[in-house]
Structure 1
Amino acid sequence: MKTRYHLITSILFPLLLLSSITKSQSIVLLQQDKPTSIRGLSVVNDKTAWISGSKGYIAITNDGGKTWDWEQIKGYEKSEFRDIEAFSDKEAIIMSSGAPSLVLKTIDGGKSWQEKYRKTDTTYFFDAMDFANERHGYILGDPIKDKFLLMETKDGGETWANVSNPPIALPGEAAFAASGTCFRVYNGNLFIVSGGKNSRIISTTNNVTEYNYVNLPMIHSKSSQGAFSLAAGKNKIIVVGGDYENDKRTDSVATIFTTHPPIFNNPTQVPSGFQSCVEYIKDDIFLSTGTSGSNITTDGGRTWRQIDSTSFNVCGKAKHGKMILLAGNGGKIAILKM
């Protein structure tokens, strides 16, 4: 009887624990009603996080999201700050997508900003930015002459230069400046997901000297369709997207990609609709969000459950901690409680 009891409890306890985990998440709104659409989010730790958005707005919290210091950067009131990379409560880098394309940096907590890059050429449109470490970073932009724009810094964002061998883009293919997460740097290698008339995952090997191109099983053909975001977990990459013009459409809004061998597995239970961002939390847990609401998976992307119907553009987890934030239109900022 004792052996049988232990067998039953060893089976039931993990199931009960998983059930409590899947039902315990909630999204709590921290603030809203600011005249900006937030696309950039960088969570440094459990106290400090930065956001960036339209009309030149940025904000920082140093108390875990309870209060935020907002600023509309003087001289940049028309800038679209689509992505931000923060390294501490003092140092952060922001990029503006449209003409002019810009990179600004602060080292005093946002009290002052220095312009590090400016390009007035209208063919330049920045989509996302990510860093391998505090010194070495990249910016991805829309294709120019059938090649993605790819820029690099090796001095912490002080100077930027075009990479000599950017990835090839197919006709009608582009990346989405929706959440700053269509482009990620993992273990020194680059990962890009694209959309439009083609939808692919592009990755590098051998320190960005070779590119791998794999077609994604995501809806594509229109400029509003394709893959919008990726996040890497244990032995897999989750890709999300869909059609932002039809955000309730649920076919091909998420897929699971394993690299060895390169195989795709689609979820048996999909997110609630279009998703513009996905973030790895821990173990097999990922969070995704978009205008159709926020969803969570606890089994590595096989099944998703909607936990909130509020529209957000981006979600992010602390680089050094557990805090998870979401942000969206109207200056909306929220925290995920688990």
Structure 2
Amino acid sequence: MRPRTISVLVLSAVALASVSGFARRPEPDWRLTDPGVTARLRGLAAVSDRVAWASGSDSTVLRTVDGGRSWQRVGPADPGLELRDIEAFDADSAVVLSIGTGGDSRVYRTDDAGRNWTETFRNDDERAFYDCLAFFDRRHGLALSDPVDGRFRILSTADGGRSWSVLPGTGMPAALEGEFAFAASGTCLVTADRGPDRAWFATGGGASARVFRTDDRGRSWSVTASPVPSGPSAGIYSLAFRDAGHGIAVGGDYTTPASAPDGAATSRDGGRSWTVAAGPPGAYRSGAAWLPRAGWLALAVGPTGSDISYDGGRRWRNFDAGSFDSVDCTAGGACWASGEQGRIATLRWR
């Protein structure tokens, strides 16, 4: 039986347990791979059970096409980049975001498996700081900057990241004093299936951790407060939407990673309102992902461990104590995680 078939069967069992209340559910477990680097890998793009990309510090981009048994280092030639977000379309094509003020915020694209990269955007505004990017499809995508002149700034592409333009700020609500987004895992800005024009981004830093939503690919936005605590280093670090309506938010304060009361929330109305999780992870979490084809099953990761939810993010249970920054799952049910010291893992079930 092929590994992908096994994965689908296991996920079907998980979904059945989730909706039927069975006590015994398949247990998740991370299988570490060895990419041969010590970079911190905050950017992650899962393409399939065999293909994944990861990006991180010191211009690091990694690529595997054999399920993590071997990795190739294929990053841009420019040294010293903090590559915090990567979006991959297949085994050959990917877009990666470098973060930082001014010209350190850049976007690169490859179409030959990382052998060559083209710089397609370089920020020329010293006030801007780009945090994350997301794509609706292979052509249309957005990138998010912290506020400039009191409003978050949005970049848009209609050609797969080969060119970018700054969208007018007239449709963006005003930012709160001290409000910003977190470039911790590349998931502060997300899209969802069955919502081809809809995207969300999450914030912290100010008086309230908020979620912004667009229904027209970034031209206009609405915003709502969440119950997740906010502060100078606290707020929502990661969003994940199962579909156009159901979302989860996780976060906390990275300066106190072992404690995050009310550090997770859920939405059932497309991000218009949020309810604090009845049983949050209880610790700072920087990444979250849904498992497609698995009912209401979701994952969250952070420096103190990984958690699983069987009920759409309302209650979480820890299953691993290892440090990860990012998690991503494919439409076929393959899940990957990445983090500090070159840690990359694939999810398996016991």
Taking structure 1 as the reference length, what is the TM-score of the superposition?
0.90
Cα distance change of structure 1 residues 250 and 84 upon mapping to structure 2, 3 Å threshold: same
CA deviation profile, 1:207-239 (whole Å, cap 9, x unmatched): 5443221111111122x1000111112542110
Residue 34 in structure 1 maps to residue 44 in structure 2 = no
Cα distance change of structure 1 residues 161 and 330 upon mapping to structure 2, 3 Å threshold: same
Report the Cα distance in structure 1 between the residues aligned to 2:306 and 2:240, rounded to whole angstroms. Answer: 15
**1:306 equivalent in structure 2:** 318
Displacement of 1:283 = 1.1
Report the Cα distance in structure 2 between the residues aligned to 1:104 and 1:233, rounded to whole angstroms. Answer: 28
Cα distance change of structure 1 residues 111 and 32 upon mapping to structure 2, 3 Å threshold: closer
Displacement of 1:196 = 0.4
**1:80 equivalent in structure 2:** 82
Report the Cα distance in structure 1 between the residues aligned to 2:201 and 2:105, rounded to whole angstroms. Answer: 20
Report the Cα distance in structure 1 between the residues aligned to 2:83 and 2:270, rounded to whole angstroms. Answer: 36
Cα distance change of structure 1 residues 55 and 274 upon mapping to structure 2, 3 Å threshold: same
Residue 20 in structure 1 maps to residue 22 in structure 2 = no
* SS of the residue 1:138 aligns to: strand
What RMSD over aligned residues (CA atoms) do the two structures have, in Å?
A: 2.0
Q: Is the 8 A contact 1:100 1:122 kept in 2?
A: no
- Counterpart mapping for 1:276-315 below 5 A: 276-281=286-291, 282-315=294-327
Displacement of 1:143 = 0.8
**2:92 equivalent in structure 1:** 90
**1:174 equivalent in structure 2:** 180
What is the letter of the counterpart of residue 97 of structure 2?
A: M
* SS of the residue 2:58 aligns to: helix
Cα distance change of structure 1 residues 56 and 260 upon mapping to structure 2, 3 Å threshold: closer
CA deviation profile, 1:123-178 (whole Å, cap 9, x unmatched): 22111110011111111111111111210011111110001135232211000000
Q: Is the 8 A contact 2:132 2:183 kept in 1?
A: yes
Report the Cα distance in structure 2 between the residues aligned to 1:260 and 1:191, rounded to whole angstroms. Answer: 9
- Counterpart mapping for 1:1-338 below 5 A: 14-16=20-22, 19-21=24-26, 24-31=27-34, 34-74=37-77, 76-98=78-100, 99-165=103-169, 167=172, 168-186=174-192, 187=195, 188-197=197-206, 198-222=208-232, 224-233=233-242, 235-259=245-269, 262-281=272-291, 282-318=294-330, 320-338=331-349
Displacement of 1:120 = 4.4
Q: Is the 8 A contact 1:243 1:274 kept in 2?
A: yes
Report the Cα distance in structure 2 between the residues aligned to 1:258 and 1:211, rounded to whole angstroms. Answer: 18
Taking structure 2 as the reference length, what is the TM-score of the superposition?
0.87
What is the letter of the counterpart of residue 322 of structure 1?
A: G
Of structures 1 and 2, the larger Rg is shown by 1
Q: Please, which runs of 5 or more residues in structure 2 have no aligned partner? A: 1-15
**2:7 equivalent in structure 1:** none
CA deviation profile, 1:172-195 (whole Å, cap 9, x unmatched): 100000001111123111201100
Displacement of 1:20 = 2.1
Cα distance change of structure 1 residues 330 and 239 upon mapping to structure 2, 3 Å threshold: same
Report the Cα distance in structure 1 between the residues aligned to 2:313 and 2:20, rounded to whole angstroms. Answer: 19
Displacement of 1:268 = 2.4
Report the Cα distance in structure 1 between the residues aligned to 2:220 and 2:75, rounded to whole angstroms. Answer: 40
**Percentage of matched positions with identical amino acids:** 31
Deviating more after overlay: 80-89 vs 202-211: 202-211
Q: Is the 8 A contact 2:246 2:270 kept in 1?
A: no
Q: Is the 8 A contact 1:36 1:53 kept in 2?
A: yes
Question: What is the count of residue pairs matched by the alignment?
Answer: 322
